[in-house]
Structure 1
């Protein structure tokens, strides 16, 4: 266990940020699943925005965001 106050604070910050990132990622995954079921084009732009925000905050890699958006566009816009 850490002894310095700064390392204790860093542990608390990491925990809070991990939970925040996990919530954002999980809510995006849920939105993607709902989009694939409903195939609503209005919802599509919201999900794309959520994916872009995750990539901007480095929660997911930029290439993964690109792959997700490509996969969604194939399934939503073509059908």
Structure 2
């Protein structure tokens, strides 16, 4: 365990940030899961921009890696294109 006040504070901050990041990462995963479950193309096209915006925001704040966001956006757009 840390002995310095600054280390104790850093530990508290890290716990708080980890909880915050976990919430947004889970929210993103649920949104992606919801979009993949959609079978109607019109509904998927309406939902896609919000998911894309969420991925871009999480990438900007380094909650997810930029390549992961790019892979997810690519796979989701392919999923939407495959819908009939």
Q: Which TM bucket (shorter chain)?
A: over 0.9
SS in 2 for 1:3: coil
Aligned-pair Cα RMSD in Å: 1.1
CA distance in 2, matches of 1:10, 1:58: 18
CA distance in 1, matches of 2:46, 2:17: 30
Q: Which runs of at least 4 in structure 1 moved beyond 4 Å after TM superposition?
A: none
* Aligned match for 1:63, one of 54, 64, 67: 67
TM-score, normalising length: structure 1:
0.92
Alpha-carbon distance, 1:58 to partner: 0.8
CA contact (8 A) 1:41 1:77 kept: no
User: Are 2:79 and 1:75 aligned?
Assistant: yes
Relative contact order: is structure 1 or structure 2 higher (C-alpha 8 Å, sep ≥ 6)?
2
User: What is the aligned length?
Assistant: 79
- 1:26 aligns with 26
CA distance in 2, matches of 1:53, 1:77: 24
Gaps in structure 1 of 5+ consecutive residues:
none
Moved more, 36-45 or 20-29: 36-45
Alpha-carbon distance, 1:8 to partner: 0.5
